[in-house]
Amino acid sequence: MSIQTVATKPFPGQRPGTSGLRKKVSVFRQPSYLENFVQSVFDTLGDCAGKTLVLGGDGRYHNREAVQTILHMAAAHGFAKVLVGQGGILSTPAVSCVIRKHGALGGIVLSASHNPGGPDGDFGIKYNIAAGGPAPESVTEAIFHRTESISRYRISDAPAIDIDRIATSRIEQMDVEVIDPVADYAELMQRLFDFDAIKALFGSGFRMCFDGMHAVSGPYAKAILEGMLGAPAGTVINAVPLEDFGGHHPDPNPVNAAQLIAIMAEDDAPDFGAASDGDGDRNMIVGRKFEVTPSDSLAVLAANAAVAPGYRAGLKGIARSMPTSRAADRVAEALGIPCYETPTGWKFFGTLLDAGKATLCGEESYGTGSDHIREKDGLWAVLFWLNLLAVTGKSVQQLVDEHWARFGRNYYSRHDYEAVASEAANELMASLRIKLPTLAGRDLGHYVVDFADDFEYTDPVDGSVATQQGIRIVMTNGSRIVFRLSGTGTEGATLRVYLERYEADPTYHHLLTQQALAALILIAEQVGGITGWTGRARPTVIT
């Protein structure tokens, strides 16, 4: 066994986005492609001697091969130990948990989150820092610049090691400790939530359906819900992680989690339904014949946080991404705590959490979390809801209806136009920016524009500035339209159009969402010229 230095050349386009580097599997399988990026990460980190690294992923196609490559490169860079999830599996929240618990230098997450998997699907890699969260832009930009000039990488030529057995082995001078992927995470959840109350809930005949979507959350949900909390066998469906997620799109929304939605729409549906995504950091909450939006979920949990032992001391603040509805803002106002509006991307919550300015965070893209780790956390949100249901004895719909009666309802929807030609999507956004100065005060039929801008964020902790984070058209009554291009896809561009209408009168709290937003949908088309620019008569997905 020896450490090899291999000559290489840069690959174009290895800039990590908000969620790391995501490309098609075929791109990552090119000789030296993954190695170049990993070498650039290690070069950016500097001296790794004696340090601990955490490694794991969502089990998608190419995960196991990538784990072996990274282990052998870590050994060539002097790491003392790598903690790797059994079978190469670690959910993204679990990676953050393990980094923080074991004082690691950081971790490498192998995932493309909610994107499709399989040989023709997507793959991804990102680096998480010692706090447990995604690397800040200063680090990801340094990694990118290194990928542009890389000329060699270092790797051990030792044989592949067994990652399926919980044990410790060695590559060169480095210990490889294969760990139970669930244990540390489950221990943390047990400290945050009242497991005895949730056990009693299941013991009372309460029924639940959790859809693991053949993704990474399945083993976590089986171990915690069915194992520790006593939910009946079969509560967790699609529980076994598959390299192609069973041919499905592992995104927990009503479109892609259609099986769960159908189950929860039956006359004899379970009391509670939930789903999580490819890498376990997103969640969808469903009651009997009742879907909860992510924005409402964040607001309801914030308003009722004291039911959970880990949050009885109170919340320091709430943070939400700019496109997420303002439902949480009204809760923060009632609690007398700040509500921070950030760009999309969990890393923007990191500085607020580290500084003790926020306790709960949420994004409209089915992501919710807190200061317990530095990633959004799907199963955490599900356990929070279970704790709330156990303490109150109310149904999901009762809790949400009561919340709306107290705070008002923020009707909310996201219209996604996927795989739009990048040039056309960028031109649409450019045309909107040109229109911004002319929109304030305009009468658009049912609404008058209060202001329109391109969202810019100055971090209240470190002073960093993020510009062009989404175009906002805000009406005088608080309703909003937001246009934004997403960076999580691997083909073309995804245009996201967010629509929000606030309704205080409970008489109007049970309209169909798209009906309630119809006037705003029409205005978005008229102002943005979506059909003309994209060639699409309707969105790809509506959530």
Q: What is the pLDDT of residue 487?
A: 63
Please tell me which residue in 19, 40, 96, 113 is annotated as part of the active site. 113
The arithmetic mean of pLDDT across residues 329-340, rounded, is 98
- Note whether 3-181 and 185-407 share their fold: yes
Residue-wise pLDDT for 115-125, tens only, equals 899 999 999 99
Instruction: Say which amino acid occupies 63.
Output: N
Please state whether beta strands 168-171 and 174-179 pair in parallel, antiparallel, or not at all (unpaired). Answer: antiparallel
The arithmetic mean of pLDDT across residues 446-467, rounded, is 94
Please state, as a whole number, how many other Cβ atoms lie within 10 Å of the Cβ of residue 456: 12
Q: What is the pLDDT of residue 489?
A: 55
Q: What superfamily would CATH give domain 3-181?
A: Alpha-D-Glucose-1,6-Bisphosphate, subunit A, domain 3 (3.40.120.10)
Q: Confidence band (pLDDT; 50, 70, 90) for 491?
A: low
The region, left, alpha or beta by phi > 0 then psi within -120 to 50, assigned to residue 537 is: alpha
pTM of the predicted model as reported, rounded to 2 decimal places: 0.94
Active-site residue flag, 370: no
**Is pLDDT above 80 for 147?**
yes
The arithmetic mean of pLDDT across residues 271-283, rounded, is 97
- For the domain spanning 185-407, the CATH number is 3.40.120.10
Q: Give, in order, the Cα–Cα distances in Å from 283 to each of 90, 269, 277, 366, 412.
A: 17, 19, 7, 5, 17
pLDDT above 70 covers a percentage of the chain that reads 99
Q: What is the pLDDT of residue 318?
A: 98
Mean pLDDT over the full length of the chain = 96
DSSP state for residue 307 in the 8-state scheme: G
Rg, the chain, Cα only: 23
Q: What is the pLDDT of residue 86?
A: 98
The arithmetic mean of pLDDT across residues 393-404, rounded, is 98
Domain ranges of the chain: 3-181, 185-407, 409-542
Higher pLDDT, 255 or 37: 37
**Is pLDDT above 80 for 294?**
yes
Residue-wise pLDDT for 474-490, tens only, equals 999 999 999 999 865 55
Range of lowest pLDDT (17-31, 78-92, 175-189):
17-31
Q: Confidence band (pLDDT; 50, 70, 90) for 345?
A: confident
Provide the 3-class DSSP secondary structure of residue 439: helix
Q: What is the pLDDT of residue 19?
A: 82
Q: Would you identify the CATH topology of the domain 409-542?
A: TATA-Binding Protein (3.30.310)
Q: What is the pLDDT of residue 103?
A: 97
Q: What is the pLDDT of residue 17?
A: 80
**Is pLDDT above 90 for 364?**
yes
Residue-wise pLDDT for 45-81, tens only, equals 999 999 999 999 999 999 999 999 999 999 999 999 9
